């Protein structure tokens, strides 16, 4: 089966900084390093305010800083987004950082932040996707082991296909074996909109994990 890959090896749309969440590097360091490894486009997608509050991230003032930021180091196209948090099995999500709502939005579920019953995680995704499908760029690390036990793959694929929303192959989760690959492969075979291959970078070294994601898809004959 040929799978539509929505970014190239030179693009990464999921990463975290020390400025606004739990990354280990500053945005300036990330941008400079991205240029050194020949990335052409990146999106800084730090965690939502709810995740920051629950995990105790020390963040600087995003509201003023991001509107003034400009890449003065290289030709990498740099944008700012956010990794939303699925909150409960209604339609509730946290989609801001300090009341700012970027246009590039990843919908993810983090067990430490989710306030509902994990047994209802499928319905939580479905409700949120129905409500916010116009804003969601893709679904982040959906088949992680902390939530995948309760995930109805067919039901999730059905609602994603209804709105043509892609999923993510998260290379950090792939490398750390935090993914339920059986469920991910099943979902991958059903989703029509395609897949993004991203690092979910928290350290500069995490950028190097991206090649493994493309190799994985190639090994499964998706490329």
Hey, where are the domains in the chain? 11-87+97-219
* Domain 11-87+97-219 CATH superfamily: Metal-dependent hydrolases (3.20.20.140)
Cross-strand pairs, 12: 42
CA distance 76 to 18: 19
CA distance 49 to 32: 26
CA distance 199 to 39: 12
What pLDDT does residue 119 have? 95
Q: How far is CA 149 from the centre of its chain?
A: 20
CA distance 109 to 143: 10
| Helix H or strand E segment including 174 | helix 171-176
Whether the CB-CB separation of 137 and 106 falls below 8 Å is answered with: yes
Q: How far is CA 40 from the centre of its chain?
A: 18
Band of the pLDDT at 64, cuts 50, 70, 90?
very low
pLDDT in tens, 20-32: 889 999 999 999 9
User: Considering all CA atoms of the chain, what is the largest pairwise distance in Å, rounded to the nearest integer?
Assistant: 47
pLDDT in tens, 119-175: 999 999 999 999 999 999 999 999 999 999 999 999 999 999 999 999 999 999 999
CA distance 17 to 28: 9
The reported pTM is 0.93
């Amino acid at each position: 089966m040929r799978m539509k890959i929505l970014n190239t090896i030179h693009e990464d749309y999921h990463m975290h900084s020390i400025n606004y969440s739990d990354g280990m590097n500053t945005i300036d360091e990330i941008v400079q390093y991205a240029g050194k490894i020949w990335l052409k486009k990146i999106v800084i997608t730090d965690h939502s305010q709810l995740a920051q509050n629950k995990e105790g991230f020390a963040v600087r003032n995003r509201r003023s800083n991001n509107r003034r930021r400009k890449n003065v180091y290289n030709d990498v196209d740099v944008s700012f987004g956010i990794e939303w948090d699925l909150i409960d099995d209604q339609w509730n999500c946290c989609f801001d950082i300090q009341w700012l709502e970027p246009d590039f939005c990843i919908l993810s579920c983090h067990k430490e932040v989710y306030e509902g019953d994990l047994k209802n995680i499928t319905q939580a995704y479905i409700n949120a996707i129905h409500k916010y499908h116009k804003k969601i760029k893709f679904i982040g690390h959906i088949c992680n082991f902390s939530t995948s036990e309760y995930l109805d793959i067919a039901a999730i694929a059905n609602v994603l296909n209804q709105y043509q929303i892609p999923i993510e192959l998260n290379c950090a989760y792939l490398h750390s074996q935090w993914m339920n690959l059986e469920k991910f492969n099943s979902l991958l075979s059903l989703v029509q909109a395609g897949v993004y291959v991203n690092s979910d970078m928290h350290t500069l070294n995490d950028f190097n994990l991206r090649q493994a994601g493309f190799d994985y898809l190639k090994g499964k004959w998706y490329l």
